Amino acid sequence: MLLRTAFPGCIAVALLASCSTELDVTAPYQENTIVYAMLDKDSTTQYIRINKAFLGPGNALTYAQVPDSTEYSDEQLLAEIQEIKNGSVVNTYSLQDTLLPRDPGVFAGPLHKLYYFTATLDSSAIYRLEATAKGNQVSAQTPIVAKISPTGAILSQPLRLMAIGGGYAYQTVKWTASMNGKRYDVSYRFRWDEVVGSDTIPRSFTQAISTVVTNGTGGGETLDAILDGESFFQTVGIRAAGNANVSRRIYRGVDILWAVAGPDLHQYLQLNSPISGLVEERPTFTNVTDGYGLLSSRRFLVHPVNGLHASTAPELVQGQYTAGLNFCLPNSGDFGCN
């Protein structure tokens, strides 16, 4: 009975594949255009990556080492950026190609092709990519993240992470939301010099404070992040240590850093954040019409803090987490580096 049931099935398969035991999982050849770009108003040169992707027979790692497998030739790609205000195109920028270094990896190197245009971006405009890649038309657009505006004590006062009467305190980092800014990754950079023998070596580390997401993208929201005093000194004690040959660590300052993502970049980061639940499948995100990838904008700001408060400096030199690191403060009478 089993043989009589299976035999007609084999005949049916034979009409399509001659009952072959080899399974071909490769779909018919089809190219896809991939676009990635993060526009930044603080730069006059904007880089855009436009590649092709496809599935074919053979080893994909072998394809990746051939530039023609992923890069378009000059005659295959025509692309431009349109600056749009009030629904009208006010400027058009043709994309030029260039070769830049690529880190060693699975893709062809040591150079790879990128496209760029030069312009002073306008945060009140929309920027739209229009490209034709081997006859395939793709498009994408993004607003531009406007200027970041810090407010409050962090602008002019020394960093104060210890209470006057003793104990740790916290510093509130405040700012006003930028137009078209959706996500704010706030961090600090701690800078110092290490003295090893006759050498003085600049060092630094960057530590996240908080991620803040706005309610909208119109700007003007009052936002803040909390820098906790005890956590700050614990982190310095761990991340500034490690070299037993250092005779002196010279404090050089703290910078507050903002990295701001436009709305589409925020959504992309959300979908690609570490998985914490039982469902491991990630949805695919793209804002490229008839292609794949991401065109968005971002903005950065570095604000140096104006020294350490008189209540905070002793904790860096003598505190429970950093006393053994031999920190000193230039131009400080009690904790100087002389």
Calculate the average pLDDT of the chain: 87
Contact 309, 159 (CB under 8 A): yes
Tell me how far CA of residue 134 lies from CA of 77, 131, 238, in angstroms.
6, 10, 54
* pLDDT tens figures, 72-113: 999 999 999 999 999 999 999 999 999 887 777 656 567 789
Residue 31 has pLDDT above 90, yes or no: no
* pLDDT tens figures, 164-182: 888 999 999 999 999 999 9
Q: What angle do CA 162, 168, 170 make, to 5 degrees?
A: 80
**Across 8-17, 276-285, 307-316, least confident range:** 8-17
Please name the residues in contact with 203: beta carbons below 8 A apart, sequence gap of 6 or more.
191, 192, 193, 194, 240
**pLDDT of res. 122:** 97
Which residues, in sequence order, are bridge partners of residue 298? Answer: 261
d(CA 144, CA 9): 60
**pLDDT of res. 334:** 80
**pLDDT of res. 273:** 79
**The whole model's pTM is what?**
0.85
CA dihedral over 195, 199, 204, 205, signed as positive or negative: negative
Rg (C-alpha) for the chain, rounded Å, is 28
Pairing of strands 88-94, 77-85: antiparallel
Average pLDDT (286-304) is 97
Residue 3 has pLDDT above 50, yes or no: no
Pinpoint the alpha helices (H) of the chain.
2-17, 60-64, 67-70, 229-239, 263-271, 313-318
Of residues 271 and 302, which shows the higher confidence score? 302
Which residues, in sequence order, are bridge partners of residue 204? Answer: 191
**pLDDT of res. 204:** 98
- From 163, 146, 152, select the one nearest 224 (Cα to Cα): 152
**pLDDT of res. 27:** 55
**pLDDT of res. 11:** 32
- From 136, 116, 102, select the one nearest 37 (Cα to Cα): 116
Pick the CATH number of 28-143 from 1.10.510, 2.60.40, 2.60.120, 3.30.43: 2.60.40
* pLDDT tens figures, 201-254: 999 999 999 999 999 999 999 999 999 999 999 999 999 998 999 999 999 999
Average pLDDT (293-308) is 96
Domain locations along the chain: 28-143, 149-262+298-328
**pLDDT of res. 63:** 61
166: Cα within 13 Å, side-chain hemisphere: 0
* DSSP secondary structure letters along 175-197: EEPPTT--EEEEEEEEEEEEEET
Q: What percent of the chain has pLDDT above 90? A: 70
**pLDDT of res. 336:** 83
d(CA 231, CA 224): 17
Tell me how far CA of residue 233 lies from CA of 14, 229, 242, in angstroms.
73, 6, 16
d(CA 110, CA 98): 13
d(CA 79, CA 73): 12
Of residues 162 and 26, which shows the higher confidence score? 162
**pLDDT of res. 105:** 64
